[in-house]
A and B are shown apart, each in its own frame.
Chain A
Amino acid sequence: MTTIELPLAIKRRPFLRTATALVWIVALAAFLAVAQHVINSGFVRRDIEALQAGEAWRTGGWLSQLVLSVVGLINDVDWQQSILSLTAAVMAGLAFGLLYDRMRFNGWTILGTVFVLAGFGMHAQVLYAITAQSRGLPLYFAFAAIIPAIRQMEQVGDVQSTISLGLLMPLVLLAGPLTTPLIVPLALGAALADPDGRRDARAFVAMLLVALIPTLIVAIGVVGFVAQSGIGVVNVIMPYITTYGLLRPGDYGQSLGVLFTFAPVAIVPLLYLVWPNLPERRHVWSAIAVVAMPLYLAIARVTFNSSMQAFVPAIALMAAYISWLCVVRLPFALRIVAFAILAAAAALSWSNTVMWEDAEWKTALFSTDVLSNLELRPGV
């Protein structure tokens, strides 16, 4: 009797690896501890201030608005602060766990991964975004999610890549009015990335539709739910009219200065574009997107009527950069550069108080009063 050799079945990866879960839990605990420490030291989160100050928080960032609306239903400020901190810490913790998993999968050593994530987590504005003002989180997540999708389109370039990017694009819409125009080049890029899309007009239209439909569905959903809740459809359109109805050219130098001072990591994707002998085929579009999307934000925020703060594009760039590190294969020397610049960015974020400063937050963060506060609590 003849025996035949059968190909081995592909082993399914575990849904959640122990190390990934551990990183998630440690990151969650660390962020939550810092956030709670800041609150215990008397700091009022900037989100809560915005919520109490009237309608200014309705900026068209639908995800953060939804969270703030729910939090706004609670009367107690302490509870509001704790819920926001917990939400931000859980999301950030999850993201760190995922980043760890992806970096390890992409050949980074445990030590290298931990250093990179620690450098990222210790960046002043990143920490600020998690513990003090989390309205920008959906934007950072959107940028972090889009980069691997663009990379997949370059690397694989199949229909599934277009579908994946299309499914992530609603995040760009939900992040706010200023990011919404990015949907157009992304959708066009998705349609043109496929070889059939470049050759055949029908394929181009099909790809474009598939890239856009999820965003359209979410947009229709937002309109539907706003109408259902009695807020009025005009309130959906208003943030866009406010943003784009008025050109308000501002200080471009200052905006770009903040971007590249707090996120000098932009140099690494640019170096990647020219670095000789890469251990992989050079994928330029995802590297360009890491810099281009935050650059657009930095320019747009001072061109249009936006309340976006100057440091937001810098964190967006950091998020896109870290996400890019998870999917790119860099030579060892460039990895060293990547980490060194990340460490420099973290150092600059604390030391450069001319471009950005929130003294109250820093005072609360470095306060030791928390110990006395704890002593006041029953049972401690």
Chain B
Amino acid sequence: MEVSPEDIAALDEATLPVYSVLVPMYKEARVLPLLAKALKGLDYPAAKLEVKLVLEEDDVETIDAAKALKLPGTFEIVRVPPSQPKTKPKACNYALQFCRGEFVTIYDAEDQPEPDQLKKAVLAFRRGDPRLACVQGRLNYFNRSENWLTRMFTLEYSQWFDFLLPGLDWLKVPIPLGGTSNHFKLEALREVGAWDPYNVTEDADLGVRLAQEGYTVGVINSTTFEEANGVLPSWIKQRSRWIKGYMQTWLVHMRHPIALWRSIGTKGFFAFHFFIGAPPFTMLLAPILWAITLMVWFTHSFDVGWLFPEPFGTMALFNLVIGNLFLVYFGVIAALKRKYYDLVPVGVLLPFYWVLHSIAAYKAFKQLISNPHYWEKTEHGTSAVTQKTLEEVKRAGS
């Protein structure tokens, strides 16, 4: 869904609806000034904007830091009473009862949305189908050049949000929403029961549930810049949570496969398996297949020909060579489209990044059995770029 600057300029601000912004945070006091700066920069009439900092009641440090910032009247602190499960969707569900906007969106603590994102979302909703319940902003990273991991992460996000999600939008199939910058019609969100507090990728799950209720999801041409996780152990934790969430989502909806198929249609049903069920499965399976391939190529002593009778042998070879190389290519062109020229040459290293996915997938699989609802918290504010911006914000403030 393309919204041009001319469309934004033509908007009459008097007609804009009240917009609620939820920012769930937990022990993230140090990035608060950044968040405040980004949200204060949103191009939306202050009288029609309500920003709710959703903080856990026991997170005294963040609550005090928020108070100390002396934020404008559009900001409000919502204290979430202690209860289980202690997850982001649970906190958001709690805060939802205080929202009075026609639309509501979610941002993470370190998010830097493009200033006109809310207006673009409003226009997208106005132009869209009446059943359009959610528009997803594109996510990308502001610290992409920090290290190899942030570069790979940026390539992946550019591919996911700039190519794959608009493709799913075009196909009109369930879209696994991203964690932030998803803008909802509040009424529709309430109707579907908001987020599943037990699901650790509540966003992906919500995308499927919206489709089940006959709602549609679109993708808008506005980007929110986030902090890429550039610390390997932290990246593994975050990724394992996402993969575990996809596994959960697939399992939850597949409890009643026929009902699911009836509710989202044949096309949606296949898309659900391809884009939510298959990724964790392939990540688990890939190392086994890599090991077999390497063993056959290097030792010549291991005959697996019976596993791949023709034409399956040729098809497997096609997938391995052409399929993987084209995946690399799509990553590279996603970077090029964003004019991230420095990421293009390193894009050829994407297969090594996929190895990390498989490591995270095995961690996720173990945790799915042993601790399914545990929320692996992502630590924000570790990036040198974030630190530098924080210092600038503090200096400007003082």
Evaluate contact between B341 and A159: CB separation under 8 angstroms.
no
Q: Does A220 contact B (CB under 8 A)?
A: yes
Name the CB-closest residue of A to B322. Answer: A221
Q: In the assembled complex, which residues on chain B have CB atoms less than 8 Å from the CB atom of A247?
A: none
Interface of A, secondary structure class, is helix
Q: Does A22 contact B (CB under 8 A)?
A: no
Residues of B within 8 Å of A, CB-based: how many?
31
Kindly identify, within residues 1 to 52 of chain A, every residue whose CB is under 8 Å from any CB belonging to chain B. Answer: 2, 4-7, 9
Kindly identify, within residues 159 to 181 of chain A, every residue whose CB is under 8 Å from any CB belonging to chain B. Answer: 159-160, 162-163
Q: In the assembled complex, which residues on chain A have CB atoms less than 8 Å from the CB atom of B10?
A: 4-5, 7
Q: In the assembled complex, which residues on chain A have CB atoms less than 8 Å from the CB atom of B350?
A: none
Q: Does B57 contact A (CB under 8 A)?
A: no
Set A5, A163, A202, A225: member contacting B333, Cβ < 8 A: A163
Q: How far is the CA of A224 from the CA of B341 in the complex (A)?
A: 30
Q: In the assembled complex, which residues on chain B have CB atoms less than 8 Å from the CB atom of A214?
A: 329
Evaluate contact between B339 and A217: CB separation under 8 angstroms.
no
Q: How far is the CA of A159 from the CA of B335 in the complex (A)?
A: 10
Q: Does B254 contact A (CB under 8 A)?
A: no
Q: How far is the CA of A216 from the CA of B314 in the complex (A)?
A: 19
Q: In the assembled complex, which residues on chain A have CB atoms less than 8 Å from the CB atom of B4?
A: 7
Set A7, A205, A217, A228: member contacting B314, Cβ < 8 A: A228
Set B15, B332, B337, B342: member contacting A4, Cβ < 8 A: B15
Most buried by B among A163, A210, A225: A210
Q: In the assembled complex, which residues on chain B have CB atoms less than 8 Å from the CB atom of A6?
A: 123, 126-127
Q: How far is the CA of A365 from the CA of B73 in the complex (A)?
A: 86
B324-367 interface mask toward A, CB cutoff 8 Å, 1 = contact, 0 = none?
01101100110111010110110000000000000000000000
Taking the closest CB of chain B, its distance from the CB of A206, in whole angstroms, is: 4
Taking the closest CB of chain A, its distance from the CB of B320, in whole angstroms, is: 8
Q: In the assembled complex, which residues on chain B have CB atoms less than 8 Å from the CB atom of A4?
A: 10-12, 15
Set A160, A196, A225: member contacting B317, Cβ < 8 A: A225
Q: Does A200 contact B (CB under 8 A)?
A: yes
Q: In the assembled complex, which residues on chain B have CB atoms less than 8 Å from the CB atom of A200?
A: 341
Evaluate contact between A210 and B325: CB separation under 8 angstroms.
no
Q: In the assembled complex, which residues on chain B have CB atoms less than 8 Å from the CB atom of A213?
A: 325, 328-329, 332
Taking the closest CB of chain A, its distance from the CB of B284, in whole angstroms, is: 25
Q: In the assembled complex, which residues on chain A have CB atoms less than 8 Å from the CB atom of B6?
A: 7
Q: Does A91 contact B (CB under 8 A)?
A: no
Q: Does A188 contact B (CB under 8 A)?
A: no
Set A5, A9, A206, A224: member contacting B344, Cβ < 8 A: A206
Kindly identify, within residues 294 to 337 of chain B, every residue whose CB is under 8 Å from any CB belonging to chain A. Answer: 313-314, 317-318, 321-322, 325-326, 328-329, 332-333, 335-337
Q: In the assembled complex, which residues on chain B have CB atoms less than 8 Å from the CB atom of A68?
A: none
Q: Does A203 contact B (CB under 8 A)?
A: yes
Q: In the assembled complex, which residues on chain B have CB atoms less than 8 Å from the CB atom of A229?
A: 314
Evaluate contact between A2 and B14: CB separation under 8 angstroms.
yes
Kindly identify, within residues 203 to 233 of chain A, every residue whose CB is under 8 Å from any CB belonging to chain B. Answer: 203, 205-207, 209-210, 213-214, 216-217, 220-221, 224-225, 228-229
Evaluate contact between B337 and A205: CB separation under 8 angstroms.
no
Q: How far is the CA of A213 from the CA of B326 in the complex (A)?
A: 9
Q: In the assembled complex, which residues on chain B have CB atoms less than 8 Å from the CB atom of A225?
A: 314, 317-318
Evaluate contact between B337 and A2: CB separation under 8 angstroms.
no
Q: How far is the CA of A216 from the CA of B329 in the complex (A)?
A: 11
Q: How far is the CA of A217 from the CA of B324 in the complex (A)?
A: 10
Q: Does B7 contact A (CB under 8 A)?
A: yes
Q: In the assembled complex, which residues on chain B have CB atoms less than 8 Å from the CB atom of A203?
A: 339, 341
Q: In the assembled complex, which residues on chain A have CB atoms less than 8 Å from the CB atom of B317?
A: 224-225, 228
Evaluate contact between A210 and B344: CB separation under 8 angstroms.
yes
Q: In the assembled complex, which residues on chain A have CB atoms less than 8 Å from the CB atom of B333?
A: 159, 163, 210
Q: In the assembled complex, which residues on chain A have CB atoms less than 8 Å from the CB atom of B329?
A: 213-214, 217
Taking the closest CB of chain A, its distance from the CB of B325, in whole angstroms, is: 4
Q: How far is the CA of A216 from the CA of B332 in the complex (A)?
A: 14
Name the CB-closest residue of A to B343. Answer: A206
Q: How far is the CA of A202 from the CA of B345 in the complex (A)?
A: 9
Evaluate contact between B313 and A228: CB separation under 8 angstroms.
yes
B256-289 interface mask toward A, CB cutoff 8 Å, 1 = contact, 0 = none?
0000000000000000000000000000000000
Can you list 25 pairs linking A and B with CB atoms under 8 Å apart? A4-B11, A4-B12, A6-B126, A6-B127, A7-B10, A159-B333, A159-B336, A160-B337, A162-B336, A163-B333, A196-B341, A203-B341, A205-B344, A205-B345, A206-B335, A206-B344, A209-B345, A210-B332, A210-B333, A213-B328, A220-B325, A221-B321, A224-B322, A225-B318, A228-B313
The 4 closest A-B pairs by CB, nearest first: A206-B344, A206-B341, A202-B341, A217-B325
Query: 8 extra interchain contacts, Cβ-Cβ under 8 A, other than A4-B11, A213-B328, A214-B329?
Result: A159-B336, A159-B339, A163-B337, A206-B344, A217-B322, A220-B321, A220-B325, A229-B314
